[in-house]
Structure 1
Amino acid sequence: MASATRNQTAKKLVCIVGSDAFHQEMIGRIPEAKDWQLEQVLHRTDVQPNGTFDFDTLLNEARAIISGFDRPPDAIIGHLDFPVSALVSLLCRDHGLIAASPEAVARCEHKYWMRQYQQDALPDHTPRVVAINPFDPDIMRKPPLPFPFWLKPVKGHSSMLGYRVRETSELTQALSACRRAIHRYGEPFNAFLKHLDPAELPTDKIDGNYAVAEELISEDQLFTLEGYRHKGETTIYGAIESRRSGRHMSSLSSYYYPAELPGEVVEAAQQQVTKVLTQVGFDNGPFNVEFFHDPETGALNLLEINTRLSKSHAPLFEIVDGCSHHKQIIELALGQTPDRPKRQGTSPMAAKFMVRSHEANGVVHRIPCQEEIDKLRALMPDLKVQLLVGEGQNLSELVDQDSYSFELMDVFLGARAPISLRMHINAAGTRWCS
């Protein structure tokens, strides 16, 4: 009887794959975390190394770490893109935990497959897309789509190897870049696919070393919905607006939460993603989905679906709602009905500002010291800073960057109103980026 009582009162073992100190501490500040035993399985640098990596090695290392705990896990989650999203799906399958199936995760994360399922679900709201072998010399003789179009790898993240192609010379450059680097994620993705049921996947043989040419769908407004699927129902609990900068306006520069969006736009976006996820067979897992929106015409175009919560949004939820949205996803993974964010944070609005360099390359001469950060935090208590570079670092050494910029630092801020939030962002940016 005493043993049964201990089992009932023991903290839930929650494993977070590919986390780091910044996010582990943030998750630990969730009030409900008092009932969880939070364990990091692999570090962010293990799953996002500076160089190639072996998917099966990471999977086996994660399995060994989890097997080393004194009891089976009650939940396994992650907040990073591939390979973490794939690892989480397989680890949850190992332990019979609540999660989307690995096959559904693959269907969402394979850029070509996702568009095929979207075409079936939303035939009038799907861009033209063509799968291409970047090593095929015939591509140069006959471009896959009329210019301009986007060229992207089937599997990547952070807009890496994504190029806006306007003419033949840019197609040559984009294909050259793809050929040099596409295997970094293509080969691990192929290893992931080998763990899945072939009968549950498309039979087109388009693997992780392919790319896609995609019709342009950009609109003035870009936003993301954070949500989850559970027992066939879609729940949206947050909307975040994204701002862009740089060449082709393709580099993300800032996020704002909550987004200033009409309710009918959020409802229309929810209907679109629900139809696609239903077609894909995705259920019992988190997602965030990006949309382009034209406020004047009402045009709404789904950009991509990520099978995880967004780590970039986590501090924004903490500032506005009092805790990170890891809370909702951990509750879901534990079989509980997640609470909606409660708007009980320190500020009604929050933003993430991505300090970027749009130069071709460079060397970091100086980074802000802790004293400088503390002085600004005295003026802006919600300030959180993540330095992504070190002094003396060559920007070309940074991994998983988009094709047109380097991300140097992330600054999170809260404010009472949009205008004061933008003033705070400008002040921090001027202080550290002049």
Structure 2
Amino acid sequence: MTQRQKNVFVLGYDKRHAQDIVKIPDADAFCFHPLLRTDEIIHRKNFPIEDKLEKARNVLRRFDGTVDAIICHWDFPATPMAAILCAEFGLLAPSLEAVLKCSHKYWSRLEQQQAAPEATPGFCVVDPFDENAVGKITLDYPFWIKPIKGYGSTLGFRINNTQDLNHALEVIKQKIRRLGDPFNTILGKADLPSELGKVDGNYLIAENLVHGREFAPEGYVQHGKFHVHGVIDMVRDKNHKSFLRYEYPSQAPHRIQDRAIELAEKVFRQIGFDNGCFNMEFFWDEASDDLWIVEINPRISQSHSYQFEMVDGMSNHEIAVHVALGDSPRFEHRTGPRNHAAKFLLRHYTQQDAVVTQAPDDDQLSRLAEAQPDTRVVLMAKKGMRLSDIPDQDPYSYVLAEVNVAGSTQHDMLERYREAITWLPFEFSPLPDEEKS
């Protein structure tokens, strides 16, 4: 007797990532359905949470069949929305509170401090709208400051002195409510502890500056059992602030990876996280041998899918789908066509806006595809647009393109990237005076 296909709804669906979703061994056993498309909920100027939740509910209610699972690979607002919808429709997923203990940066630090105080940097909360905010920060310079809820290093600043801090606070006050207000809508649906007080989505967290080699175990907790299926290196560029690439497999020593995985398990047990996926970022200070927790993301990362496909022969959606259904993932290692793979972020380092006057054309992209069939390019900047139109950038640079490259060795991968970007020319011109803000 033929088993029916399971219906898996993807919160944040688009054609590009749909190609990754079906690259799992038993894709034919599932029927994947859009549950709001990516452009409806991701990288938007505003996030009407209630409207989007109701639209998603209507899709599920009207579906003529069983709703077996909801998955997502995007950050805010998709991950907490998925937790809310799964609870309402009786589907397996972490609780909303467990998701928020990961993604609310202050709440997360409180939980980390309980489970792994030795790996939790010093921190304090900051109200950017408080006239006395500067005087209430308890950390010494330098430190890092960022919103309680953010992603992609948006509105994250390294603070070396009071001048840096005043500048950062002015920028943040103008922009924080875009994510802060909708995050507060999500917080209003959760059972929050008294320790959070008034710390909501429009607050900041200041953290001691930690450094070293950065990497992220990615894994899942299912029926109370903790698993890791891979470790990704998060390599920063020469400015030490912006990410250059996400590389797999990690080159960190195995003993350090094992220590990080042990710490991650302690933290997730403290949080009460179950039946969900995660990636958790760490710094390893090679001089002191200290490990520091950077942050926790309660989901698989779509930025890691290509790497797993190239090296392990299957997308990390194999994990997300089976965890959401409550059965065992069948993730195999090192069965892919390449030994190393990375998602590179081709950046333009400037804090000044500009107009893109040249970008790769179809002919150049086609010739790159012929020369490197495994390489995938996603253009973020296109001819005629302003750099400031690229959404959710860090304060120090603009991502012009995502360049996914694989190779037989790390050296081969890096050489292929250097070759690839010769096919990706960009040029810029200053904004006309009348358009400068």
Q: TM-score over 0.5 for the alignment?
A: yes
Asked whether the equivalents of residues 107 and 196 of structure 2 are also in contact (C-alpha less than 8 Å), the reply is no
Partner of 1:340: 331
1:369 Cα offset (Å): 2.6
Separation in structure 2 between the aligned mates of residue 320 and residue 214 of structure 1, nearest angstrom: 35
1:231 Cα offset (Å): 2.2
Cα separation, partners in 2 of 1:260 and 1:246, compared to 1, 3 Å:
closer
Does 2:404 correspond to 1:412?
yes
Question: Which of residues 344, 354, 369 in structure 2 aligns to 1:353?
Answer: 344
Partner of 1:370: 362
Alignment of 1:76-225 (within 5 A): 76-198=70-192, 202-219=195-212, 221-225=213-217
1:296 Cα offset (Å): 4.1
SS in 1 for 2:118: coil
Separation in structure 2 between the aligned mates of residue 166 and residue 93 of structure 1, nearest angstrom: 44
Separation in structure 2 between the aligned mates of residue 427 and residue 80 of structure 1, nearest angstrom: 30
Structure 1, unaligned runs of 5 or more: none
Separation in structure 2 between the aligned mates of residue 201 and residue 341 of structure 1, nearest angstrom: 43
SS in 2 for 1:140: helix
1:367 Cα offset (Å): 2.4
The one-letter code matched in structure 1 to 2:120 is T
1:49 Cα offset (Å): 4.1
Cα separation, partners in 2 of 1:427 and 1:83, compared to 1, 3 Å:
same
Count, aligned residues? 425
Structure 2, unaligned runs of 5 or more: 427-437
Separation in structure 2 between the aligned mates of residue 300 and residue 130 of structure 1, nearest angstrom: 20
1:9 Cα offset (Å): 2.2
Q: Deviations over 1:9-30 (max 9, x none)?
A: 2211001111211001221232
Alignment of 1:41-80 (within 5 A): 41-80=35-74
1:320 Cα offset (Å): 1.3
1:142 Cα offset (Å): 4.7
Separation in structure 2 between the aligned mates of residue 37 and residue 322 of structure 1, nearest angstrom: 21
Does 2:266 correspond to 1:275?
yes
Separation in structure 1 between the aligned mates of residue 304 and residue 214 of structure 2, nearest angstrom: 15
SS in 2 for 1:217: coil
Q: Which moved more, 1:360-369 or 1:80-89?
A: 360-369
Partner of 2:29: 35
Asked whether the equivalents of residues 356 and 409 of structure 1 are also in contact (C-alpha less than 8 Å), the reply is yes
SS in 1 for 2:357: coil
Separation in structure 2 between the aligned mates of residue 27 and residue 332 of structure 1, nearest angstrom: 14
The one-letter code matched in structure 1 to 2:301 is S
Asked whether the equivalents of residues 53 and 81 of structure 2 are also in contact (C-alpha less than 8 Å), the reply is yes
Asked whether the equivalents of residues 348 and 398 of structure 2 are also in contact (C-alpha less than 8 Å), the reply is yes
Separation in structure 1 between the aligned mates of residue 379 and residue 221 of structure 2, nearest angstrom: 33
Asked whether the equivalents of residues 103 and 201 of structure 1 are also in contact (C-alpha less than 8 Å), the reply is no
Partner of 2:418: 426
Partner of 1:250: 241
SS in 1 for 2:354: coil
Q: Which moved more, 1:56-65 or 1:207-216?
A: 56-65
State the TM-score, normalized to the length of structure 2: 0.93
SS in 2 for 1:390: coil
State the TM-score, normalized to the length of structure 1: 0.94
1:342 Cα offset (Å): 2.9
Partner of 1:399: 391
Asked whether the equivalents of residues 66 and 72 of structure 1 are also in contact (C-alpha less than 8 Å), the reply is no
Separation in structure 2 between the aligned mates of residue 76 and residue 328 of structure 1, nearest angstrom: 13
1:313 Cα offset (Å): 0.6
SS in 2 for 1:424: helix
Separation in structure 1 between the aligned mates of residue 96 and residue 66 of structure 2, nearest angstrom: 20
Cα separation, partners in 2 of 1:138 and 1:296, compared to 1, 3 Å:
closer
Question: Which of residues 257, 275, 287 in structure 2 aligns to 1:284?
Answer: 275
The one-letter code matched in structure 1 to 2:345 is M
Q: Which moved more, 1:74-83 or 1:54-63?
A: 54-63
Separation in structure 2 between the aligned mates of residue 130 and residue 255 of structure 1, nearest angstrom: 29
Q: Deviations over 1:49-97 (max 9, x none)?
A: 4412211111111111222211231110100111011111111111111
Asked whether the equivalents of residues 72 and 95 of structure 1 are also in contact (C-alpha less than 8 Å), the reply is no
Q: Deviations over 1:125-178 (max 9, x none)?
A: 211110111100112345442111111100011011100011111101111111
Cα separation, partners in 2 of 1:246 and 1:40, compared to 1, 3 Å:
farther
1:346 Cα offset (Å): 1.6
Separation in structure 2 between the aligned mates of residue 294 and residue 341 of structure 1, nearest angstrom: 31
Partner of 2:311: 320
Asked whether the equivalents of residues 254 and 354 of structure 1 are also in contact (C-alpha less than 8 Å), the reply is yes
Separation in structure 1 between the aligned mates of residue 10 and residue 136 of structure 2, nearest angstrom: 46
The one-letter code matched in structure 2 to 1:214 is E
Cα separation, partners in 2 of 1:31 and 1:123, compared to 1, 3 Å:
closer
SS in 2 for 1:282: coil
The one-letter code matched in structure 2 to 1:250 is K
Q: Deviations over 1:236-265 (max 9, x none)?
A: 101111211254x11111121111222211
The one-letter code matched in structure 2 to 1:105 is V
Q: Deviations over 1:363-412 (max 9, x none)?
A: 22232233322322222221111112222110112221111111111111
Question: Which of residues 11, 14, 31 in structure 1 aligns to 2:5?
Answer: 11
